Structure 1
Amino acid sequence: MTVTILKPGPLSSVQDAGRPGHGGIGLPAGGACDALALQLGNLLVGNDQGAAGIEISLGGLQLRFDRACSFALTGALADATLDGVPVGCWRRLHAQAGQVLAVGYAVLGARLLLCVAGGIEVPVVMGSRATALQSAIGGWQGRALAAGDVLPLGEARMLPVSEPAIRPPGRGDTLRVLPGPEWPLLERSAQHQLLHAPWRLTPDSNRMGAKLAGPPLTHGLGALPSHAVQPGVVQLPQAGQPILLLADAQVTGGYAKPLVVIQADLWRAAQFRPGESLHFAEVSAKDALAALQAQRDWLARLRRVLKLPQR
């Protein structure tokens, strides 16, 4: 009951919902950058929403199913084939033992999630199966996947042979934000630029953070004492080019924090590719909570439609 990696693509790793609660020893929560795609893929194949899957950065993964099983590709959109036959993303699919899944390079978005019925059952480390790449723990041997890796699968629920599909949520080019602690200290011109200028993702972005390029912001805040940070925080270094922290963000930092991306939009932040531009849009705390509740309600409705137990 395994899958065998034939080609890993630029960066593929085992990820689940992460391991929160270890910031005190410097370990990020981590987990899938697009947590919503992980939840939706797991719903399609009958897993618990936080079960481990394979996060595929930009595409290029090939693997062999060593048993018959159901699977789903969510997150970014890419052409994919099963034994050379095209298959779609965002739907439950079925593979026979020995069949090879080949995922092309993403045509929209940056990260795909491959969820397999039963989940990727690598050992649990500190409460999670997620790969913490910087710390080299969890996942498969604490590292990115490589050709020849054989990953164990968990016990799968019985599922119908049907292939239900989910309409992928639209990413858009806007991330909703709340004011961060240092927002009031910024000059009005810097505030205006942050919220109205397009910010382009640079090639040196990674799972720790999306580095953004745009008009240099003059803020004069200087370095701050080291303090806690988390995914969604927008940091503003001295050079005035923002950094949007993602799933593997460090747990402390000394840059100003003018903005924080709302939780309901963190999945969107993970799906921008180098060279693409995004905008920030300020919303109220009430709107942020409403957006998160709407997302949770949508997931609950999908569970009912797919006839899965409510959790």
Structure 2
Amino acid sequence: MSGKTSRLRVVQPNHLLTVQDRGRQGAMRYGVSQSGPMDWVRFTLATVLAGDTSAAFEVGIAGASFFAEGPVRIAVTGPGFGVRISGGRTASFEAPVLLTLEDGETLSLSPGATGMWAYVAVGGIDFGPPVLGSLATNARTGLGARDFGRPFPCTAAAHADPVLYEDPLDDGGPIGLLPGPQQHMFPEEVRRTFASEPYRLTDALDRMGYRLEGPPLKAVRHDIISDGIVEGAIQVPGNGQPIVLCADRAPTGGYPKIAIVANADRPRLTQHRPGDTVRFAWIDEDEARARRRTLAERCRHPIPRIRAAFTSEFLAARNLIGGVWGPSPAHED
């Protein structure tokens, strides 16, 4: 790490706060969960905006707060999440936003009416050494766990005004599905039901998986020889209620998998909360790849948002006097 160094402290950490990168690639063959972000789109956007980092804090619905010891460059993303700065100034923003948190200021992140996961990426942050080639935290195994009681060194940042960005993901429409490896074990009418009826997210959800509730999906049989599980696979146990397997999933499973959530649509699913209703639709591989490419491009080239309105706190945080107030030279006496 070069240049001046600042530090960032986590204020009152909770069990839904972790550090994630793109996960432990290639480790599942050894029985190690991959981990990584629950929402790869907002994670990617945050790291691109912050720069000089490949990992970020993943913040769950419980929210989080961070205290700066020296100025740091921070990007915050996450649907429905609000950002508040207190200390030397008071200001509120909505994510996605890129800002400089000044020395002695606290950034607080809180959920709104929607959204489950947010990301806080910090320019030049040092999360410590990787474990099995990754900085990702797996809460169940303890791999990559960190002492949030100590500060994290960061590259000091020059002051810059906050900039809001467009969210790259459109949350409308059904969740795209691709055929699972055991799709043939489910009769055609069952596959049609899955793509036509609503399913509700239950309270049983975490980084390992989301349990759904709806019309039962009955297979020819519900026990198979355990095989590998990719992220987004939807397995169906004997009760017929599907389970979407997420970032901290086990490497293998012994239930048939009717479908796999398309990569581009996984964030739309994981950002739903317990009690929310989702609908699914079968799509083909070409459409799934096209959606993935479009989202990746939007993350690589973030679009600043044109502000239609400014809050009083936003305006109060700025000097709007110089160069604005005063008579025009053409009207001087």
* TM-score band, normalised by shorter chain: 0.7 to 0.9
Following the alignment from structure 2 to structure 1, what is the Cα–Cα distance between the partners of residues 289 and 217?
29
| Native 8 Å contact 1:59 1:112 kept in 2 | no
TM-score (norm 1): 0.88
| Native 8 Å contact 1:9 1:56 kept in 2 | no
Paired-residue identity, % = 27
Following the alignment from structure 2 to structure 1, what is the Cα–Cα distance between the partners of residues 150 and 126?
10
Q: CA deviation at 1:17?
A: 1.3
The aligned counterpart of 1:101 is 107
What amino acid does structure 1 have at the position aligned with 2:141?
S
Gap change, CA 1:222 and 1:3, over 3 Å in 2: same
| Native 8 Å contact 1:3 1:152 kept in 2 | yes
Q: CA deviation at 1:231?
A: 0.8
Q: CA deviation at 1:177?
A: 1.0
The aligned counterpart of 1:35 is 40
| Native 8 Å contact 2:76 2:120 kept in 1 | yes
Report whether the alignment pairs 1:19 with 2:18: no
What amino acid does structure 1 have at the position aligned with 2:7?
T
What amino acid does structure 1 have at the position aligned with 2:71?
A
The aligned counterpart of 1:289 is 289
Structure 1 unmatched ranges of 5 or more: 306-311
Following the alignment from structure 1 to structure 2, what is the Cα–Cα distance between the partners of residues 35 and 153?
25
The aligned counterpart of 1:214 is 214
The aligned counterpart of 1:69 is 72
Secondary structure (helix, strand or coil) at the match of 1:107 reads: coil
Following the alignment from structure 1 to structure 2, what is the Cα–Cα distance between the partners of residues 119 and 268?
28
Q: Which has the larger radius of gyration?
A: 2
| Native 8 Å contact 1:17 1:32 kept in 2 | yes
| Native 8 Å contact 1:15 1:139 kept in 2 | no
Following the alignment from structure 1 to structure 2, what is the Cα–Cα distance between the partners of residues 279 and 128?
34
Following the alignment from structure 1 to structure 2, what is the Cα–Cα distance between the partners of residues 17 and 159?
28
TM-score (norm 2): 0.82
Q: CA deviation at 1:20?
A: 1.1
Q: CA deviation at 1:9?
A: 4.2
The aligned counterpart of 2:146 is 140
Report whether the alignment pairs 1:171 with 2:132: no
What amino acid does structure 1 have at the position aligned with 2:60?
S
Q: Deviations over 1:137-177 (max 9, x none)?
A: 11415xxx5xxx22423436x67724333211222352111
Q: CA deviation at 1:91?
A: 1.4
Q: Deviations over 1:197-241 (max 9, x none)?
A: 111111111000111011122223230001100211011111000
| Native 8 Å contact 2:49 2:302 kept in 1 | no
Secondary structure (helix, strand or coil) at the match of 2:264 reads: helix
Following the alignment from structure 2 to structure 1, what is the Cα–Cα distance between the partners of residues 271 and 126?
22
What amino acid does structure 1 have at the position aligned with 2:59?
I
Gap change, CA 1:219 and 1:26, over 3 Å in 2: same
For this pair of structures, how many residues does the alignment match?
295
| Native 8 Å contact 1:10 1:58 kept in 2 | no
Following the alignment from structure 1 to structure 2, what is the Cα–Cα distance between the partners of residues 223 and 163?
53
Report whether the alignment pairs 1:58 with 2:57: no
Gap change, CA 1:126 and 1:267, over 3 Å in 2: same
The aligned counterpart of 1:308 is none
The aligned counterpart of 2:243 is 243
What amino acid does structure 1 have at the position aligned with 2:130?
V
Q: CA RMSD in A?
A: 2.0
Secondary structure (helix, strand or coil) at the match of 2:42 reads: helix
Deviates more, 1:281-290 or 1:101-110: 101-110
